[in-house]
Structure 1
């Protein structure tokens, strides 16, 4: 059964983007991700440990979108790529096959970006990812997204991301992913 975040939603016009202590607000962030991505309670529990481990990595940073009342309605986090990290080792063969493995060097990885569905299509995701990558020292950004024609993939394309590898299969993920990359800074429109 999908995880749900309860309570009435505040006015979306009162959302502010800023630094997020993701380790302290991991439960709030995962509640947003659960609703946006359709996670079960069990999946949320597994991801909690992953997020906390990621946030201890050198250069890991997070931003959140909160209402005036402090309710988290969106978040993004990422870190400089490390080829020894699990994600990088999984995607590298797919990128190599396409001649794109060089994208893993000098890259800032967007690990997660999620906005509560009631707050989507208001520029919050775009604001979160552009602000996070604007602070990156790396010359490029990479991410993975479900390999479907989704609003998220359309947003990434508008920001300058392009497909580097498709049909990427992560262990235990039922659907394939696409790995995308963009030079930094991201495009504005």
Structure 2
């Protein structure tokens, strides 16, 4: 088995989105009914500033007993992201979570509470790369593919921080948390509920470059 990491252009990513979203749905345990909505969202993401995407391709060796033809290449993982932007849904969810968690003092106006001003948010909100998605097929996990995808994705991005989210797991006992912690990602928000998702998530971040 040979693993190759390949960068995709925005056009290539959009064209491959049906298969890439299938990887996402399987890795996250989401129902197939979500596929069309996810495809629309992923295709829209290619227009975000600083969009970068990579896939992991596996080539089966002739010596490996497998029903798939030897030498044929299969996409087994995907990772993509872009620069944070206050106009984007995820950034707005992040800022809501920071407000609700009282990350910083409330700001009041003479006539009562008002919204936060830009300078009130933690510094990382002003310069971050959002790791929007990183997924590896369940049967391909445990081979270091996720680590290679993530480190490649974050190499050289023009931001001072990287942020990502992952579903909460009791005791952080899964490979995703293990990967993120090993790369120095720290807590930003815990047990955060995104609008439209019933599962709690952890939002994690770290400074860049990975070094």
With structure 2 as the length reference, what TM-score do the two structures score? 0.78
Structure with max Cα Rg: 2
**1:66 Cα deviation (Å)?**
0.8
Deviation at 1:185, TM superposition (A): 2.1
2:32 and 2:193 mapped to 1: Cα distance?
23
- The list of structure 1 runs, each at least 4 consecutive aligned residues, that deviate by more than 6 angstroms after superposition, is none
**Of 138, 142, 164, which residue of structure 1 is paired with 2:163?**
142
Provide the C-alpha distance between the structure 2 equivalents of 1:49 and 1:59, rounded to a whole number of angstroms: 19
SS of structure 1 residue aligned to 2:20 = helix
Q: Secondary structure at the match of 2:73?
A: coil
Alignment of 1:112-127 (within 5 A): 112-127=133-148
Determine helix, strand or coil for the equivalent of 1:75.
strand
Give me the whole-angstrom Cα distance separating, in 2, the residues matched to 1:70 and 1:104.
Answer: 39
Larger mean CA deviation between 139-148 and 93-102 belongs to 93-102
Q: Deviations over 1:140-159 (max 9, x none)?
A: 10011112213211211111
Deviation digits for residues 111-163 of structure 1 (CA, Å, limit 9, x no counterpart) = 00000011111110000010010030111100111122132112111111001
2:204 counterpart residue number? 180
Paired residues, number: 175
**What TM-score do the two structures reach when normalised by structure 1?**
0.87
Say if 1:91 and 1:168, in contact at 8 Å, map to a contact too. Answer: no
Secondary structure at the aligned position of 2:14 is classed as: coil
Unmatched 5+ residue regions in structure 2?
A: 60-71, 105-120
